[in-house]
Homo-oligomer: A and B are copies of this chain.
Amino acid sequence: MRTYLECIPCFFKQALDIFRLLKLSEDLQKRILDEISTFIPHFSLSSKPPEMGKRIYQTIKKFTQIQDPLREYKVQSNLVVEKVIEKLDIPSMNLADLMKLSGAGNFIDFVIKQGNVEEKELLQHLRRTLVKSFKHFQFQQFLTHLESAQTILYIGDNAGEAVFDREVIRKFPPGKRVYFAVRGKPVINDVTEREAREIKMDEVAEIISTGDETPGVLLESSSPKFREIFHSSDLILAKGQGNYETLSEVEAPLFFLLQIKCSVVARDIKGEVGDIVLIKSSKFSHHAKL
């Protein structure tokens, strides 16, 4: 997905949201926003929004001299979701329900704005989600592809949310080779190998890094190993808006599972802000057999 003009104010808002968590001085915040401003004239609307996300986060790292500014927040998110799922009857849920839950878990970065993840609030949100109707939830189509797939690439998004992803993968039919993709370097609250290992993702999938710090998947910036897995998987499930924004035009056997968080993505997907969607990519295509 390309960048729209409406994304420009949003880039600055995203930085402010991160600042709030980091409790930076106003002077430092202003200096970071000043540097972000200088990127705008060089940022083409044909770029993908997460390319700016990457630059914003690199700037925050540079000015704060912290290599993983939201590390603590990611650890806390994982812990809270572990507690929350203990209160939900996960073993009795079917795959469709777990995928809805995992889509709802994509809500984690909404909560980020308030500075902490409240267990009670999250639990309420998830319970409300499970009784909601899902307009764009192409589960049967997904299941058909899942059943015939040998190799599945599951592309993670936020820490915390990844705990739900783990439970989803646990419910996949047995005998599949599953990769769980994480960001190559810390970027915002996205799951990296470190947080994936901490929640024992490696017990249900092979963890693979994109090798890149974009909060999405830019194939041209990814490692050769990641690209190889991407191009040889029979089915790819990409979580969250960032992955949608970078992969929506890539021809691959892709499904997207996300909560729509802005009007730009809503327009692109033909959904509404707040919707949790599971959709087959409009560019869905099986990889050409080599």
Name A's B-contacting residues (CB within 8 A). 5-6, 8-10, 12-13, 16, 19, 26, 29-30, 33-35, 37-38, 40-41, 45
Contact = CB atoms under 8 A, between A and B. Distances in A.
Given A5-B16, A5-B33, A8-B33, 8 more contacts: A8-B12, A9-B9, A30-B45, A33-B40, A34-B40, A34-B41, A35-B41, A37-B37
How many copies of this protein are present in the complex?
Answer: 2
A285 to B, nearest CB: 29
A12 B34 CA distance: 14
A29 B8 CA distance: 11
Given A12-B9, A16-B5, A41 B38 contact: yes
A162 to B, nearest CB: 29
A29 to B, nearest CB: 6
Given A12-B12, A45-B26, A45-B30, A19 B37 contact: no
A41 B45 contact: no
7 contacts: A6-B16, A8-B16, A9-B12, A12-B12, A35-B41, A37-B37, A37-B40
Query: Residue among A5, A10, A33, A38 with the most chain B CB within 10 A?
Result: A5
Nearest to A44: B30
A38 B41 CA distance: 8
A38 to B, nearest CB: 7
Contact of A13 (B9, B26, B29, B35): B9
Contacts of A10: 9
Nearest to A33: B8
A36 to B, nearest CB: 8
Nearest to A19: B5
A9 B19 CA distance: 14
A6 B17 CA distance: 10
Contacts of A37: 37-38, 40-41
Contacts of A5: 16, 19, 26, 29-30, 33
